[in-house]
Amino acid sequence: MRFLAPALLALLVPGAAAAQDAVFTGEITGADHQHYKPVPFDVPAGVERITVTLTYDKANKTVVDMGVWDPERFRGWSGGTRDRFTLAPSDATPGYLTGALPAGRWQLMLGVPNARANSRAAYRVTVDFDRAGGTHASERIADAPLNPASGWYRGDFHMHDANSDGSCSSQSGKRVPCPLFRTVEAAAKAGLDFAAVTDHNTTAHFGGLRELQPYFDRTLLIPGTEITTFGGHANIFGERRFVDFRVGAAVPDIAALTRDVAAAGAILSINHPALPSGEACMGCGWIWPNTDWNRVTAIEAINSTITTGPLAGIGFWYARLNEGHRLTGIAGSDNHDPDAPEGKAPIGRPTTVVHAPELSLAGILAGIRAGNVFIDVAGTRNRLLEVTAAAGKSKAVMGGTIAGDAGLRIHAHAVGVGGASAELVVNGAVAAQSPVAGDDAHVEFPLAPRSCGWAAVNVRDGEGRPLLVGNPIYLTCRRS
Ligand SMILES: [Zn+2]
Ligand SMILES: [Zn+2]
């Protein structure tokens, strides 16, 4: 049994502005000692998540256990261990069962293992519903970010475990579906700030991530899904519900899928877009017609070890940028085995480094959207690429926009890549190159007046292989 100080208890209570769907208050007295006290509540149709929070006066050693039954069956018990639980079709607090949330009368059950004879302890139960298309209570009462500071955060956006086709060696050396824990542990050992687990077409790993997150309190675990269609793969981040992947069947076309993902406030990132399709790699390349690029946020510019050549995603990404679309380039190891046998990309290689307002799911999503992001191909813990554009008094960082009419200067701060070569890319073509002098170096590139479109900086090694891949700064020009 663990008792919380009143100050800590206050933190668990949702903010005063939050309007709960139901609030129940009452008293636990000596008469409740070793009794169960049902607190019924009604769940309307269309609820996608139920979150229940209990606070009570723990003085005088009053203890209240908690669990819940839906109209038909038992749905979980956390005893006196927790003050809050959440249930959804895709995930639930450990100790609770995922699954459909039937409308009707539910019973929250308060068990009282101890209440002293003459004691009176006030309690308060709040019930929050997430509704389709409505505000999400679970976001309002989400746990605090792992790190509240704004800054650069390193992570891997793409990996698989036993919940799809990830595998590893068992105790006796057999190849077995690899437990989610091993995957997450490898991400933590790689020193990543965040790791997105993206099993194919399923949300079955979301509950496991919810269980693992409190233990891995230095690595933000992002529940993702790799939507795996016959015409391409895309990772979705920030959607906790199942997304139907059956384009051409349950979903009319890819535009409908991207519209629904965007409407949910989630991010869609197209994976390994330049891989072949057909029998060589079924459904791997992105070949959907009518892709609504305004609803695509990111492209996996580097997948696994494919950094150069026609199969790399960078060319596909640059082609979309040249069409005028704004897309953040990210990377993923696409790891299927946390032990990463020779020749396969380990978790965290490549790494995407995101400038985010905080280390939380919302923070990383905001960072991808803003586009101040670069790829560290080797997945180091120290390399840095900060790019700014300056024209007169105005400035922009990667993902930002600046006027290119009067000419400007592109400045790159590169750390950990001394002796390498920085290149300026303008509208997809290398416009200039400059050596990176030292491990904490500054490189400047001038851009002529009427530079319109986009510019990015990359860093390559002596053999021309990319070490750091920067995101574009968008250059606008007034029509003359
Ligand atoms: Zn894939
Ligand atoms: Zn994958």
Ligand 2 center–CA 375 separation, angstroms:
18
Ligand 1 center–CA 279 separation, angstroms:
15
Counting ligands in written order, which one lies closest to the CA of residue 335? 2
Ligand 1 center–CA 231 separation, angstroms:
11
Ligand 2 center–CA 205 separation, angstroms:
14
Tokens of 182: 């091993």
**Which pLDDT does position 141 carry in this prediction?**
73
**Which pLDDT does position 137 carry in this prediction?**
76
Name the CATH topology of 151-381: TIM Barrel (3.20.20)
Ligand 2 center–CA 370 separation, angstroms:
24
Contacts of 189 (CB under 8 A, 6+ apart): none
Ligand 2 center–CA 334 separation, angstroms:
5
Tokens of 303: 């997948």
Ligand 1 center–CA 370 separation, angstroms:
24
Query: What residues pack around ion ligand 2 (CB closer than 5 A)?
Result: 226, 334
Counting ligands in written order, which one lies closest to the CA of residue 336? 2
Closest of 327, 245, 328, 326 to residue 288, by C-alpha: 245
Distance of alpha carbon 99 from alpha carbon 93, whole angstroms: 12
Ligand 1 center–CA 227 separation, angstroms:
8
Counting ligands in written order, which one lies closest to the CA of residue 158? 2
CA 414 to chain centre: 26
Ligand 1 center–CA 190 separation, angstroms:
22
The CATH class, in words, for 6-140 is mainly beta
Ligand 2 center–CA 160 separation, angstroms:
6
Ligand 1 center–CA 169 separation, angstroms:
22
Closest of 344, 93, 297, 334 to residue 197, by C-alpha: 334
Residue range(s) occupied by CATH 2.60.120.380 in the chain: 6-140
Ligand 1 center–CA 273 separation, angstroms:
9
**Which pLDDT does position 5 carry in this prediction?**
37
Residue range(s) occupied by CATH 2.60.40.10 in the chain: 384-480
Digitized pLDDT (tens) for each residue of the chain, 480 residues in all = 333 333 333 333 333 334 578 999 999 999 999 999 999 999 999 999 999 999 999 999 999 999 999 999 999 999 999 999 999 999 999 999 999 999 999 999 999 999 999 999 999 999 999 988 776 777 777 778 999 999 999 999 999 999 999 999 999 999 999 999 999 999 999 999 999 999 999 999 999 999 999 999 999 999 999 999 999 999 999 999 999 999 999 999 999 999 999 999 999 999 999 999 989 898 999 999 999 999 999 999 999 999 999 999 999 999 999 999 999 999 999 999 999 877 889 999 999 999 999 999 999 999 999 999 999 999 999 999 999 999 999 999 999 999 999 999 999 999 999 999 999 999 999 999 999 999 999 999 999 999 999 999 999 999 999 999 999 999 999 875
Counting ligands in written order, which one lies closest to the CA of residue 273? 1
Residue range(s) occupied by CATH 3.20.20.140 in the chain: 151-381
CATH superfamily of 384-480: Immunoglobulins (2.60.40.10)
Ligand 1 center–CA 296 separation, angstroms:
16
**Which pLDDT does position 73 carry in this prediction?**
98
Counting ligands in written order, which one lies closest to the CA of residue 224? 2
Ligand 1 center–CA 201 separation, angstroms:
11
Q: What would the 3-class secondary structure string for the chain be?
A: CCCCCHHHHHHHCCCCCCCCCEEEEEEEEHHHCCEEEEEEEEECCCEEEEEEEEEECCHHHCEEEEEEECCCCEEEEEECCCCEEEECCCCECCCECCCCCCCEEEEEEEEEEECCCCCEEEEEEEEEEEECCCCCHHHHCCCCCCECCCEEEEEECCECCCCCCCEEECCCCCEEECCHHHHHHHHHHCCCCEEEEEEECCCCCHHHHHHHCCCCCCCEEEEEEEEEECCEEEEEECCCCCCCCCECCCECCHHHHHHHHHHCCCEEEECCCCCCCCCCCCCCCCCCCCCCHHHCCEEEEEECCECCCCCCCHHHHHHHHHCCCCCEEEEECCECCCCCCCCCCCCCCCEEEEEECCECHHHHHHHHHHCCEEEECCCCCCCEEEEEEEECCEEEECCCEEECCCCEEEEEEEECCCCCEEEEEECCEEEEEEECCCCEEEEEEEECCCCCEEEEEEEECCCCCEEEEECCEEEECCCC
Ligand 2 center–CA 235 separation, angstroms:
8
Ligand 1 center–CA 458 separation, angstroms:
25
Single-letter code of the amino acid located at 151: G
